[in-house]
A and B are shown apart, each in its own frame.
Chain A
Amino acid sequence: MNYMKVILISGRTTKQGISLEMGKTSEEYSNNVAVIMMNENDMKKIGAKEDEHVEVRTKFGSAVVRCKESRIDRGIAFMPYGPWANMMISADTQGTGMPNYKGVEAKISATDKDVLTIANVIERIKEIK
């Protein structure tokens, strides 16, 4: 399976901000937040096209999201703040209170798996041991 290593950054986007006011159980929220933004050459490398599904994995967890082309450097990928990005972030704050929401090493590969729904995300959280 073709995968590539990236530095994962999470942050605010306009669409995420607008859709969370429409309700976090809304389709708009999932559509705008369960995404990852990548450089077009990185997308080619893993064989994923616009809006196709990719699996993102870190040491701490994984999630399936849709990929979007973005003007971002190769080797960096961006996800909006939200429960999908949270699956991949460690709860260890090194004594500061603040998790590393930005700058996490991740592997990305194309996948046929479905994007996790909000209900799936909640189930996944309940299953964490």
Chain B
Amino acid sequence: MIYKNIVCTLCGCLCDDIEVVTEGERVADVKNACEFSRSKFLNHAKDRAKHLIKKNGKLVEVPIEEALGEAAEILKKADFPLIYGLSSTETDAQRMAVELAELIGASIDNTTSVCHGPTIQAVQDCGAAKCTLGEVRNRADLVIFWGCNPAEAHIRHATRYSITPRGLYTESGRKGREIVHVDVRETKTSKMADIFVKVKPGRDYELLSAFRAAVKGYDVGDVAGVPSETITQLVEKMKSCKFGVIFFGLGLTMTGAKHMNVNAALRLVRDLNDHTKFTINPMRGHGNVSGSNDVMTWCTGYPFAVNFSKGYPVYNPGEFSAVDILARRECDAALIIASDPVAHFPAQASEHLVRIPTIVIDPKINLTSLIAKIVIPSAIAGIECDGTAYRMDGIPLRLKKVIDSEFLPDREILKKIIERVKA
């Protein structure tokens, strides 16, 4: 079978032009995909998890009913359960996870807390002049990548939206766009840019603030390793472009000033709108991390780090975000779904997952499943089950199923756990 216009859920670009060729129950070929996407589709059957429960220190295979029943018992008994992950699954599963969190009085957090959590905090503080990737493709003549490396993380972003495509008002494609890359190191993205600006590590806030001052007409001198002339030249380009956009990544959210870095970038863009049309967008990582914020916001009013122990949702990053709850050893059980904290959290936070009963729902064997009490395998959203995912600019796209799977979708697994918790 040949499936056209399939959405790839690997990164926040959600490329929706993938062609997948299947033979029986395997993916035989993938077209239009980047290297990540090819690897995801072609290796979908590799390294799959099984239904496992730890007995006498060893994970042993059990029937699905036993794994679901035991998981429900653990969550029911827990005083302070944590539900974490959500960004690699589809929106119905995310909604069910919130329902479960409310039912058991859990803290629920998605991977946003360790990617663009600071971005959300900054947006809540001062708002953001955002736009869709379609608008960038059709209108942007100045594109600034700040603290991000799309050439290695969002591989087709450049050709589909931001650097080379020809659009309605960008008929000349690459020639009509000026590309700037601001980062602490030269990467493959710098090679695609017209101008590379090297900022000293941890000094982004200073540089962004200097840009704001320069936009207002002040002479700022050399700042954060960037010469005064470069700042003046860039500010002129920003003020005189027709449609500018800043795409920023974890270079702003993961260093020193975190949400204040992003805050400065958002305010710079707000200032630039006194002169021209300027927008700013976060480069969201996981395929549906943006959806996890939207779904949690519909359901609870808040995008991540939400606690239900009082029976109603309370939001507080730093208190109810997963790394903090684990580092303070507060939770007494954890349900990890569609993410792998042991691979991506500081070891001192992962360590608590070893101490408590940890339940992992994931299609693949991952590092968290190696330390789990219960492992429940699931179908891969966008390959083995349908659903909805939100692109990095907040556009929802429908995911299709191209392969029949022996595994249940995450939403079905969560529904069965909820039924057992209620029973």
Contact A103 B202 (CB under 8 A): yes
Q: Is A1 an interface residue (CB 8 A)?
A: no
Given contacts A76-B201, A97-B113, A103-B201, contact A17 B153 (CB under 8 A): yes
CA distance A21 to B202 in the complex (A): 31
Contact B114 A125 (CB under 8 A): no
Please give the number of chain A residues whose Cβ is less than 8 angstroms from any Cβ of chain B in the complex: 50
Contact with B along A96-129 (1 / 0, CB 8 A): 1111111100000000000000100110111010
Contact B152 A91 (CB under 8 A): no
CA distance A9 to B109 in the complex (A): 25
Contact B47 A22 (CB under 8 A): yes
Most chain B CB inside 10 Å of its own CB: which residue of A24, A26, A97: A97
Contact A100 B43 (CB under 8 A): no
Partner of A23, one of B10, B47, B149, B254: B47
Chain B residues near A125 (CB, 8 Å)?
342, 347, 350-351, 354, 371
Instruction: Please give the distance in Å from A40's CB to the nearest CB on chain B.
Output: 14
Partner of B366, one of A24, A87, A89, A101: A24
B345: nearest chain-A partner, CB-CB = A86
CA distance A71 to B185 in the complex (A): 8
Contact A100 B348 (CB under 8 A): no
CA distance A73 to B118 in the complex (A): 27
Chain A residues near B43 (CB, 8 Å)?
21-23
Q: Is B327 an interface residue (CB 8 A)?
A: yes
Q: Is B340 an interface residue (CB 8 A)?
A: yes
Q: Is A14 an interface residue (CB 8 A)?
A: yes
Given contacts A76-B201, A101-B254, contact A96 B317 (CB under 8 A): yes
Given contacts A9-B184, A78-B185, contact A97 B117 (CB under 8 A): yes
Question: Which B236-263 residues have a C-beta within 8 angstroms of A?
Answer: 250-251, 253-256, 258-259
Instruction: Please give the distance in Å from A14's CB to the nearest CB on chain B.
Output: 5
B151: nearest chain-A partner, CB-CB = A14
CA distance A71 to B191 in the complex (A): 12
Contact with A along B68-106 (1 / 0, CB 8 A): 000000000000000000000000000000000000000
CA distance A100 to B343 in the complex (A): 16
Question: Which B288-334 residues have a C-beta within 8 angstroms of A?
Answer: 304-305, 317-319, 321-324, 326-327
Q: Can you spell out 11 A-B residue pairs with CB atoms less than 8 angstroms apart? A: A9-B185, A12-B152, A12-B153, A17-B36, A19-B39, A21-B39, A22-B39, A22-B46, A23-B364, A25-B370, A128-B351
Residues of chain B at the chain A interface (Cβ within 8 Å): 10, 35-36, 39-40, 43, 46-47, 109, 113-114, 117-118, 121, 149, 152-153, 155, 184-186, 198, 201-202, 250-251, 253-256, 258-259, 285, 304-305, 317-319, 321-324, 326-327, 340, 342-351, 354, 364-367, 370-371
